[in-house]
Amino acid sequence: MQAVQVSTELIDKYGLAGPRYTSYPSALHFADDFQDDQFLQDLKAQKDPISVYIHLPFCRTMCWFCGCNKIVTRKQDKADRYLDYLAKEMLLWRAQLTDVKVGQIHFGGGTPNFLNPQQIDRLNALLRCYLPLTPDVEISVELSPDVLTEDQVWAFSRLGAKRASIGIQDTSPIVQEAVNRPQPMECNINAVRWLREAGFTSINVDLIYGLPHQDRESFKQTIQDVLELEPDRFALFNYAHVPWFKPTQKVFASDIFPNPIAKLDIFQDSRETLEAAGYTFIGLDHFAKHEDELAKAWNNGKLQRDFQGYSVTESKAILGIGLSSVSQSPKAYRQNHKELEDYEAALDAGQLPLAKGLALTVDDGIRRTVINRLMCQLKLDFSDISDELGIDFAEYFDTSLVDMQELVTDGFVEMTDTGIAVTELGRFFLRNIAMQFDAYRERQAGRCSQTL
């Protein structure tokens, strides 16, 4: 794959704020007065096993770049208390899941391996006691190698986890110091060895480009270092600089970031190296070995996208449990309280800890399908999607298609009477292309991270 040339004019024109489209509408539009009825109705109607996301929010230190919902603490007993409340929440959900099974569980954070092995074993017992799991439930976990121990890996293995995603971000000591995340390669090497020995069958590595002091040469070294670990997948995320939303990011001086051209160069270098090493470039920012099921899903048009990014999971409903967790169903999103005090108070009152949400309109549902299809398949067949959604696509999106002409002229999209397809150049501007179908784009301007 030859490097694509991206001009400064295009970067200036399209370097806008825009959603990552892990959901549509984005969480910015969730409302405080949302009632749970629609979500509960959708949940109970599920015929196939659902997915569950469980948020474990604690971290020992703060990484300055972080955009997650987390609680930084050294007090291990906070996790004991949190598990008490997770148990209360699971018990409330169990009452709603009388005819529904759980086929997948993902633990995210925060740092799930903030929990010590005894706490992970207790979490295992809670799951088995309170959630209606399928016998072959698939379990995955996000891990931070800098604080990971071998005993924790075995505890997650006892819990049934077979997939892990490890956060590395960048291996340069200069970058690590700037973002307050020292993580010698030894930690990463140990993490991967322990996971393989414990029988984990899939390891993903998270990297971030666009961090302070990164440049092409330093990030080439990061990619080489991580390739030595032979992960099954990579996620190569564009750093989201949103200091108005995540104030810890204000510690960064504005002149220490790579500029948009340097970021695109870093991404293209990485893509070239990873493709040469046997990884398939997937969607916006993922890579997987050719034989990995994520790469197969991409090639078969079965790729999915949800709050955790790209996946092969086909669940129509994802139930979020724990602080700040988001749930999604065919017609609604809901989010738990983000503050621990509010989360606990709701559960002490015997209520689900609902903070806000959104019941999708028919229009939201249509646009969600269209945007998701673009993000996962990079193309739209007007006839197929018209049949699927019960609309005349060209008529429904007449304004979007007129606006799309400019993207055709700029070389991002090829459009015919039957459909549109994103070009290689357009993959760098995928979020901008999806924005053409976003009815909320004016309202969310300036509240999202930069697309480039």
Minimum distance of ligand SF4 from residue 241's CB (angstroms) = 14
Is there a contact between 331 and 25 (Cβ–Cβ < 8 Å)?
Answer: no
Minimum distance of ligand SF4 from residue 111's CB (angstroms) = 5
Tokens 């302070």 belong to which residue? Answer: 212
Among candidates 411, 365, 404, 406, which has minimal Cα distance to 388? 365
Structure tokens at 428: 């760098």
| Amino acid making up residue 371 | I
Distance of alpha carbon 147 from alpha carbon 214, whole angstroms: 24
Minimum distance of ligand SF4 from residue 256's CB (angstroms) = 18
By CB under 6 A, residue 251 contacts ligand SF4: no
If the CB atoms of residues 182 and 301 are measured against ligand SF4, the closer one turns out to be 182
Minimum distance of ligand SF4 from residue 338's CB (angstroms) = 14
* Residue of 6, 49, 53, 70 interacting with ligand SF4 (CB under 6 A): 70
Minimum distance of ligand SF4 from residue 237's CB (angstroms) = 11
Among candidates 130, 51, 41, which has minimal Cα distance to 89? 130
Minimum distance of ligand SF4 from residue 145's CB (angstroms) = 10
If the CB atoms of residues 20 and 368 are measured against ligand SF4, the closer one turns out to be 20
Structure tokens at 110: 């925060």
If the CB atoms of residues 183 and 423 are measured against ligand SF4, the closer one turns out to be 183
If the CB atoms of residues 176 and 270 are measured against ligand SF4, the closer one turns out to be 176
DSSP label at 112? G
Neighbours of 148 (CB within 10 A): 22
Which of these segments, 21-29, 83-91, 105-113, 152-160, binds ligand SF4 (CB under 6 A)? 105-113
Per-residue interface string for the shown chain with ligand SF4, residues 419-448, x marking contact by CB under 6 A = ------------------------------
Distance of alpha carbon 167 from alpha carbon 46, whole angstroms: 33
If the CB atoms of residues 240 and 354 are measured against ligand SF4, the closer one turns out to be 240
Distance of alpha carbon 77 from alpha carbon 79, whole angstroms: 5
Task: Compute CA 157 distance to the chain's CA centroid, rounded to the nearest angstrom.
Answer: 23
Minimum distance of ligand SF4 from residue 65's CB (angstroms) = 7
The count of residues interacting with ligand SF4 (CB under 6 A) is 11
- Biggest CA-to-CA distance, the chain: 62
Among candidates 223, 67, 63, which has minimal Cα distance to 145? 63
Task: Compute CA 316 distance to the chain's CA centroid, rounded to the nearest angstrom.
Answer: 17
By CB under 6 A, residue 110 contacts ligand SF4: yes
Residues in region 9-68 near ligand SF4 by CB under 6 A: 59, 62-63, 66, 68
* Residue of 22, 119, 144, 238 interacting with ligand SF4 (CB under 6 A): 144
Among candidates 340, 259, 286, which has minimal Cα distance to 78? 340
If the CB atoms of residues 25 and 167 are measured against ligand SF4, the closer one turns out to be 167
By CB under 6 A, residue 187 contacts ligand SF4: no
Minimum distance of ligand SF4 from residue 114's CB (angstroms) = 9
Minimum distance of ligand SF4 from residue 340's CB (angstroms) = 15
Is there a contact between 331 and 38 (Cβ–Cβ < 8 Å)?
Answer: yes
If the CB atoms of residues 10 and 63 are measured against ligand SF4, the closer one turns out to be 63
* Residue of 22, 104, 111, 165 interacting with ligand SF4 (CB under 6 A): 111
Minimum distance of ligand SF4 from residue 273's CB (angstroms) = 24
Q: Where are the beta strands (DSSP E) in 152-275?
A: 161-169, 202-209, 233-238
Residues in region 157-176 near ligand SF4 by CB under 6 A: 167
If the CB atoms of residues 63 and 137 are measured against ligand SF4, the closer one turns out to be 63
Whether the bond into 25 is cis, omega within 30 of 0: yes
Strand, helix or coil for residue 135: strand
If the CB atoms of residues 55 and 305 are measured against ligand SF4, the closer one turns out to be 55
Is there a contact between 92 and 143 (Cβ–Cβ < 8 Å)?
Answer: no
If the CB atoms of residues 66 and 359 are measured against ligand SF4, the closer one turns out to be 66
* Residue of 19, 25, 49, 109 interacting with ligand SF4 (CB under 6 A): 109
Residues 6+ apart with CB under 8 A from 24: 364, 367, 368, 371, 372, 438
Task: Compute CA 178 distance to the chain's CA centroid, rounded to the nearest angstrom.
Answer: 24
Which of these segments, 108-116, 129-137, 309-317, 442-450, binds ligand SF4 (CB under 6 A)? 108-116
Question: Residue 367: enclosing H or E segment and its boundaries?
Answer: helix 362-377
If the CB atoms of residues 25 and 145 are measured against ligand SF4, the closer one turns out to be 145
Question: Residue 333: enclosing H or E segment and its boundaries?
Answer: strand 332-336
Minimum distance of ligand SF4 from residue 68's CB (angstroms) = 4
If the CB atoms of residues 46 and 144 are measured against ligand SF4, the closer one turns out to be 144
Distance of alpha carbon 207 from alpha carbon 329, whole angstroms: 29
List contacts with ligand SF4 (CB under 6 A). 59, 62-63, 66, 68, 70, 109-111, 144, 167
